[in-house]
Structure 1
């Protein structure tokens, strides 16, 4: 289920397969609601006027803003699908290691879209997936940025290295500070670990370099979404 006005409109604009559009009874319609209804009508997607209580239940309590859309299960890409020689710009992929909060995934997908990245990789097990909450937090960017699922993240990172990528991991105790990252202009996979545990041992050993974000001593760490956003911004700035 995709919930929220921006997420629903972006999904409809991108022709994401959909089964039903749910519109809250007596909704305060704005341009996004009107566009969603128009696009759904053009595509022949059934529309149901639904009580807000029922929308709350259908979206598992997400902030749906009176608009939600039922979609098939997310179709994950294969990690190799993110290697596209025809894609514009220098290749840039973000891999998640141990991230379990869907809001972090959504925020990272949004940052990847904002700063010219080409995709996100998540492990198939013990990891967050593309839930309605992740879609919501991405503000629709998940309709444009592919998310791949890796059966074995370490092996996927090794395959990227064989394809000419450098793999850099984010960690508080890095080999180099982010502003000094000389690899910024190379094809990159940026690996983001969980806020609590950081990078797993095997993933860390697979990285070509470990990068840290300089911060005030009063702040111990950033959450995964913020850390990824700061890193992607700096890489994009260095590539200009």
Structure 2
């Protein structure tokens, strides 16, 4: 490990570093994930059967802190990984053909904490996957992985170039596309039917773009109190996914 006072080199471009027990162990358990390096304290790595193909370095807590953003809760372990291979929208929908698992579509949601939290909710409620626009979504990162608490490794994440065109493709695959907006006349419960559902959520603060709304089958709102103007997008996603799954 680097000497005290020396900052280790940054991760290679496009190769994120994950931190925290959930994120690192989930990456190690994912057969689709290539883990290049693991740093950790003796205590944190004790009892872990790490493959011989992974470069393992035992380190002090202070040294680990230099590998990642300041104040990141690493819990004694850090991993350097390759991003997962790209997933195509058509393949995802073909994989989910025949079941009613919901799909989550995010319109320019850029906060990595929110995307990570939505991945976690998607895993909790058995969503088919999430779809984001490639240019207006965060890349895989330690922040996303930490907020997802392992869900980044198990929930398919599709990145698309044109969200409107992808919504057309989702509709053609039999999904009823419901866009969440506080200005909608009906609640989500009123718009849910028996068909497969794709829930569409807009960016933090600004909501869905007009063109995105135009490619939804219906707009709906969550019945929240007048005491608050809106919900955080990750909270809204969790509530919407629960409502879809709970309809029976």
TM normalised by structure 2 equals 0.86
Q: Return closer, same or farther for 1:86/1:178 CA change in 2, 3 Å cut-off.
A: closer
- Deviating beyond 4 angstroms after TM superposition, the runs of 4 or more aligned structure 1 residues are 85-88
Q: Residue in 2 aligned with 1:51?
A: 60
Q: Residue in 2 aligned with 1:21?
A: 38
Query: Is structure 2 residue 117 aligned with structure 1 residue 107?
Result: yes
Shift of 1:87: 6.0
Q: Residue in 2 aligned with 1:6?
A: 22
> What whole-Å deviation, never above 9, does each CA across 1:170-193 have from its counterpart, x for those lacking one?
11111320222233x311211111
1:105-184 alignment, distance < 5 Å? 105-183=115-193
Report the 3-state secondary structure (helix = DSSP H, G, I; strand = E; otherwise coil) of the residue aligned with 1:19. Answer: strand
Contact preservation (8 Å) 1:5, 1:65: yes
Q: Residue in 2 aligned with 1:207?
A: 216
> What whole-Å deviation, never above 9, does each CA across 1:139-173 have from its counterpart, x for those lacking one?
10111111010011111111111121111111111
Query: In 2, distance between residues paired with 1:50 and 1:76?
Result: 33
TM normalised by structure 1 equals 0.89
Contact preservation (8 Å) 1:122, 1:128: no
Query: In 1, distance between residues paired with 2:56 and 2:62?
Result: 17
Report the 3-state secondary structure (helix = DSSP H, G, I; strand = E; otherwise coil) of the residue aligned with 2:40. Answer: strand
Query: In 2, distance between residues paired with 1:86 and 1:108?
Result: 19
Query: In 2, distance between residues paired with 1:72 and 1:6?
Result: 17
Report the 3-state secondary structure (helix = DSSP H, G, I; strand = E; otherwise coil) of the residue aligned with 1:121. Answer: strand
Query: In 2, distance between residues paired with 1:169 and 1:102?
Result: 21
Contact preservation (8 Å) 2:192, 2:244: no
Q: Residue in 2 aligned with 1:69?
A: 79
Higher helix share: 1
Give the CA RMSD over aligned residues: 1.8
Query: In 2, distance between residues paired with 1:180 and 1:120?
Result: 23
Q: Return closer, same or farther for 1:57/1:88 CA change in 2, 3 Å cut-off.
A: farther
Question: Which is further off, 101-110 or 84-93?
Answer: 84-93
Unmatched runs of 5 consecutive residues or more in structure 2: 1-16
